[in-house]
């Protein structure tokens, strides 16, 4: 089974940097897919080619894709629109525009992002999927909607049983059942095959958020590999000027808070690096620190 490695954390802390570095690392040993679900994704820029239309090979053993809302909804249409239309039009006088209406419902794109992740994991094409997530709240919403959808479908089965005489030509219970199984599979994928890295910078807010995410991920049954404390200033470069000495002290205080509160989870420390975040730039250094 494909394993999924997800990178979460506040916006700007280094999720994409860590994801790309990890994807390059895993690609050394087996076929790897790098997926971004961050709407402000930057993979296209890093690999210097458009990744928001489909899965594209970007390096040896490495494919990448940016799951934009538009791409997700296009895929959703291809996969589900016909069945939904068949069911709805069997008892409502509706045209195909009903699909546009449903597509606009909140949560559809989030829901389908995880279905996409499942499809990719089940394809057997990849040994590892590296998942570069959107900032914390959006990702937690995505996981929450997944569970909400599951309980909604469970209710839907009961409701359907009461009104089933309305449907004469099709069996919506089969559709509900199919979605329920799919959703259960996604929840299983998250708890059995997914491990998270929580990325933070040595500042109060990112550290606080990182510890909160650790708690939320546990609630969603997602295993945590550990924390990555990114952009630590090296002491040697901070000794010369009071401004940098103070900056260093403040960072170390946050580092202490994280080390104190992280429980048994490992904390990987990545310094503030010079150079550019490129395949032949500082990404190689990050790989050395993480693995």
Ligand X SMILES: Nc1ncnc2c1ncn2[C@@H]1O[C@H](COP(=O)(O)OP(=O)(O)O)[C@@H](O)[C@H]1O
State the residues that interact with ligand X by CB under 6 A. 9, 11-17, 42, 230-231, 270, 272-273, 277
- Supply the minimum distance, in Å, between the C-beta of residue 36 and ligand X: 9
Residue 19 in the binding site for Mg ion (CB under 5 A): no
Residue nearest to Mg ion according to CB distances in the complex: 16
- Supply the minimum distance, in Å, between the C-beta of residue 66 and ligand X: 12
Residue 136 in the binding site for Mg ion (CB under 5 A): no
Residue 16 in the binding site for Mg ion (CB under 5 A): yes
Phi, psi of 252 (to 5 degrees): -65, -30
Whether the Cβ atoms of residue 124 and residue 118 lie closer than 8 Å to each other: no
* DSSP tally for the chain: helices H, then strands E: 12, 8
38, 63, 109, 115: which one is catalytic? 38
User: First-to-last CA distance in the chain?
Assistant: 22
- Supply the minimum distance, in Å, between the C-beta of residue 84 and Mg ion: 32
- Supply the minimum distance, in Å, between the C-beta of residue 230 and Mg ion: 12
Strand residues in the chain grouped as ranges (E) = 3-8, 32-36, 56-59, 62-66, 128-132, 194-200, 223-232, 267-271
Distance (Å) of CA 156 to CA 116, 164, 165, 177, 253: 23, 11, 15, 10, 51
Query: Quick one: 12 or 57, whose CB is closer to Mg ion?
Result: 12
Using CB under 5 A as the binding criterion, the count of chain residues that bind Mg ion stands at: 3
The partner residues of 271 in beta bridges, in order of sequence, read 232
| Pair of tokens at residue 209 | 């958020």
Per-residue x/- track, 176-215, Mg ion (CB under 5 A): ----------------------------------------
Query: Quick one: 11 or 250, whose CB is closer to Mg ion?
Result: 11
Residue 37 in the binding site for Mg ion (CB under 5 A): no
Told to judge if 212 belongs to the known catalytic residues of this protein, a careful annotator would answer: no
Distance (Å) of CA 175 to CA 11, 45, 109, 169, 172: 37, 40, 19, 13, 5
| Pair of tokens at residue 110 | 């989030």
Query: Quick one: 34 or 207, whose CB is closer to Mg ion?
Result: 34
Residue 61 in the binding site for Mg ion (CB under 5 A): no
| Pair of tokens at residue 28 | 């050394």
Task: List active site positions.
Answer: 38
Judged by the rule CB under 5 A, the positions of this chain that interact with Mg ion are 15-16, 38
């Amino acid at each position: 089974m494909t394993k999924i490695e997800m990178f979460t954390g506040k916006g700007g802390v280094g999720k994409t940097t860590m994801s790309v570095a990890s994807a390059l690392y895993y690609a050394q040993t087996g076929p790897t897919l790098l997926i971004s679900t961050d709407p402000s994704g930057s993979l296209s820029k890093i690999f210097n080619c458009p990744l928001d239309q489909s899965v594209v090979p970007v390096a040896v053993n490495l494919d990448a894709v940016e799951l934009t809302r538009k791409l997700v909804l296009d895929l959703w249409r291809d996969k589900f629109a016909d069945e939904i239309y068949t069911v709805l039009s069997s008892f409502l006088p509706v045209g195909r525009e009903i699909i546009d209406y449903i597509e606009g419902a909140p949560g559809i794109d989030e829901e389908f992002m995880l279905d996409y992740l499942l499809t990719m994991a089940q394809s057997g094409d990849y040994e590892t999927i590296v998942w570069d997530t959107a900032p914390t709240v959006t990702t937690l919403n995505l996981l929450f909607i997944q569970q909400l959808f599951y309980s909604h479908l469970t209710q839907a089965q009961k409701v359907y049983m009461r009104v089933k005489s309305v449907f004469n030509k099709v069996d919506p219970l089969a559709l509900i059942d199919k979605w329920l199984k799919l959703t259960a599979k996604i929840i299983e994928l998250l708890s059995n095959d997914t491990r998270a890295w929580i990325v933070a910078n040595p500042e109060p807010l990112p550290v606080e958020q990182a510890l909160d995410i650790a708690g939320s991920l546990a609630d969603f049954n997602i295993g945590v590999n550990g924390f990555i404390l990114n952009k630590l200033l090296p002491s040697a470069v901070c000794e010369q000027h009071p401004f940098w000495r103070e900056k260093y002290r403040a960072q170390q205080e946050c580092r202490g808070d994280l080390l104190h509160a992280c429980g048994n989870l490992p904390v990987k420390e990545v310094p503030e690096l010079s150079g550019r975040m490129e395949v032949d730039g500082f990404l190689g250094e990050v790989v050395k620190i993480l693995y």
